[in-house]
Amino acid sequence: MSKLKQKLAEKIPSYRERVTKLMKEYGDVVVDQVHIRQFYGGMRGLKCLTTDISYLDPNEGIRFRGYTIPEVLEKLPKPKGAEMPYVEGHFFLLLTGEIPTQEDIQDVVDEFKARNRVPHYVYDLLREMPRDTHPMTMFSAAILAMQRESVFVKRYNEGLSKMDYWDPYYEDALNLLAKLPEIAAYIYRMKYKADTPIASNPELDFGANFAHMMGIDHPYDEVARLYFILHSDHESGNVSAHTTHLVASALSDPYYALSAGMNGLAGPLHGLANQEVLRWIQHVMDKMGGKLPSKEELKKFVWDTLNSGQVIPGYGHAVLRKTDPRYTAQREFALKHLPDDEIFQLVSMLYEVVPPILMEHGKAKNPWPNVDAHSGVIQWHYGVREYDFYTVMFGVGRAIGVLSNIVWDRAVGQAIERPKSLTTDMLEKVAGIKK
């Protein structure tokens, strides 16, 4: 058994005890109340999910297993000479709650290496799809196609005890994660680089191998590590995490669940917003004949977008009420590596211009930028200008978090998710409008 799996096996019993105690002895304790606005308002703010992998404070932003982003970037071990930590180490942290040693990381690196062969039919499938298919459709279809490989399904069909569900979920999660960078890079090079895929180099770590398969030199390996870590998890109520959790709660295997989660990530209000940000910026640049707008001109573009009833992509958030620390981490990277980039200058100008306008507009509860406002510009700088690919990279990162979550869902015996719905009539009666 790998050290990672062994560590997990050691940690699960005490978590089960804690959950059993809460359920048995404190099951009737009231945590929250549900308001009518939440029935139609996307259950905003309703406390009804649990995860120990990350927690999102509205003002501070995300903590992964209790660590802020700067702490994660500082504490996690890095490849020799690298600026950004091993993605493998971040996965270890999310899954176990512990900062890994170099030895722990090597164990995960070896685990991924042993599982990274992408089945040939995945390439056949991708090649059969029309080339103008959105890369997120390709990515999700590739994940779904591999469902036949599920270890969970095989073991479930053989007659598996509930107590052991987490084990084949873990196997499926690792088998999937090991293959996602190659699938993503293959889609990119097939679609946008004249069908010239680059073979994986198993000697490289997760981030560096992705950069290698994309065909982009250093420091893109650092970008890849930073990007996958930042996008990994955002507690469990966001659309991609919640969808993955929901589908897995029916004991659909991790392939079904992750593919479903990726379909949610592909929406413009969620992960696709990073594509929308670059699309919006390119629209501005086109209108300006390729030159940077002045602040006044930019303000007008922002107002025009709002007045036409559209959202400003990359701004606002369902939970956050301050600048997203994932935005800040990327801004710091950009200030160091690409301070003179024209698009970065435009992104920086937007940071000054958009929040006061959104405040004046008076609708968005959070006028500050989220992660998606910054991720595209760094990709653009390093030559990944096909912005409809950006959400696929978000998806590779998000898989690390959502797969860790569903392994733990099975470990603590989370039930099939099935909330109760009411009719409009019933709500009108609750409100006292109707008898």
Ligand X SMILES: CC(=O)SCCNC(=O)CCNC(=O)[C@H](O)C(C)(C)COP(=O)(O)OP(=O)(O)OC[C@H]1O[C@@H](n2cnc3c(N)ncnc32)[C@H](O)[C@@H]1OP(=O)(O)O
Tell me the catalytic residues: 270, 317, 372
Question: Judged by CB under 6 A, does residue 243 bind ligand OAA?
Answer: no
Instruction: State the minimum distance, in angstroms, from the CB of residue 271 to ligand OAA.
Output: 7
Contact call for residue 370 and ligand OAA (CB under 6 A): yes
Q: Which of 100, 264, 271, 401 binds ligand X (CB under 6 A)?
A: 271
246 makes contact, choosing from ligand X, ligand OAA, none, with CB < 5 to 8 Å by partner type, with none
Contact between 368 and 324 under an 8 Å Cβ cutoff? The reply is yes
Nearest one of 345, 102, 140 to 260, comparing CA atoms: 140
Binder among 127, 131, 218, 363 for ligand X (CB under 6 A): 363
Give the DSSP H/E element, type plus range, for residue 6: helix 3-26
Contact 377, 343 (CB under 8 A): yes
| 281 touching ligand OAA, by CB under 6 A | no
Query: What are phi and psi for residue 111, nearest 5 degrees?
Result: -60, -45
Candidate residues 364, 377, 392, 407; the one interacting with ligand X per rule CB under 6 A: 364
Rounded to whole angstroms, how far apart are CA atoms 222 and 87?
Answer: 10
Which residue's CB is nearer to ligand OAA, number 8 or number 392?
392
Q: What does the buried/exposed string (b/e) look like for 166-187 if buried means 16 or more CB atoms within 10 Å of the residue's CB? A: bbbbbbbbbbbbbbbbbbbbbb
β-strand pairing of 54-57 with 61-64: antiparallel
- Cα dihedral sign, 150-155-159-163: negative
Q: List binders of ligand X among 13-72 (CB under 6 A).
A: 44
Q: Which is nearer to ligand X, 3 or 374 (CB)?
A: 374
Q: Nearest distance from residue 323's CB to ligand OAA, in Å?
A: 12
Determine the size of the site formed for ligand X (CB under 6 A): 21
Closest approach, Cβ 394 to ligand OAA, in A, equals: 8
Cβ-defined contacts of 203-212 (< 8 Å, 24+): 205/79, 205/86, 205/87, 205/88, 205/109, 206/86, 206/87, 206/88, 206/109, 206/112, 206/181, 207/84, 207/86, 207/87, 208/79, 209/181, 209/182, 210/181, 210/184, 210/185, 210/396
Q: Evaluate whether 324 touches 371 at the Cβ level (below 8 Å).
A: yes
3-state DSSP call for residue 61? strand
Query: Is residue 318 near ligand X by the rule CB under 6 A?
Result: yes
Closer to ligand OAA at the Cβ: 247 or 371?
Answer: 371
Interacting positions 240-269 with ligand X (CB under 6 A): 269
**Following CA atoms 212, 214, 216, 221 in sequence, which dihedral angle do they give, to the nearest 10 degrees?**
-60
Contact between 313 and ligand X per CB under 6 A: yes
CB atoms within 10 A of CB 269: 14
144 binds ligand X (CB under 6 A): no
Asked if 234 touches ligand OAA (CB under 6 A), the answer is yes
CB nearer to ligand X: give 168 or 397: 397
**319 binding ligand OAA? (CB under 6 A):** yes
> Per CB under 6 A, does 275 bind ligand OAA?
no
Whether 209 contacts 377, CB under 8 Å: no
Stretch that binds ligand X, among 153-161, 331-339, 363-371, 376-384 (CB under 6 A): 363-371
User: Which of ligand X, ligand OAA, none does 100 bind, CB closer than 5 to 8 A by kind?
Assistant: none
CB of 373 vs ligand X, minimal distance in Å: 7
The verdict on 232 binding ligand OAA (CB under 6 A) reads no
**215 vs 267, which CB is nearer to ligand X?**
267
Distance between CA 225 and CA 240 in Å, rounded? 20
Answer yes or no whether residue 238 interacts with ligand OAA by CB under 6 A: yes
Rounded to an integer, what distance in angstroms lies between the CA atom of residue 226 and that of residue 2?
26
Q: Does 374 bind ligand X (CB under 6 A)?
A: no
Query: Is position 379 an interface residue for ligand OAA (rule: CB under 6 A)?
Result: no
Pairwise CA distance, residues 412 & 13, whole Å: 9
Choose the contact partner of 135 out of ligand X, ligand OAA, none; CB within 5 to 8 A by kind: none
Q: Does 318 bind ligand OAA (CB under 6 A)?
A: yes
Tell me the two tokens of residue 33.
């109340």
| Structure-token pair, residue 156 | 């479930």
Residues of the shown chain interacting with ligand X in the complex, contacts defined by CB under 6 A: 44, 269-271, 273, 306, 311-318, 363-366, 370-372
Residues of the shown chain interacting with ligand OAA in the complex, contacts defined by CB under 6 A: 234, 238, 318-319, 370-371
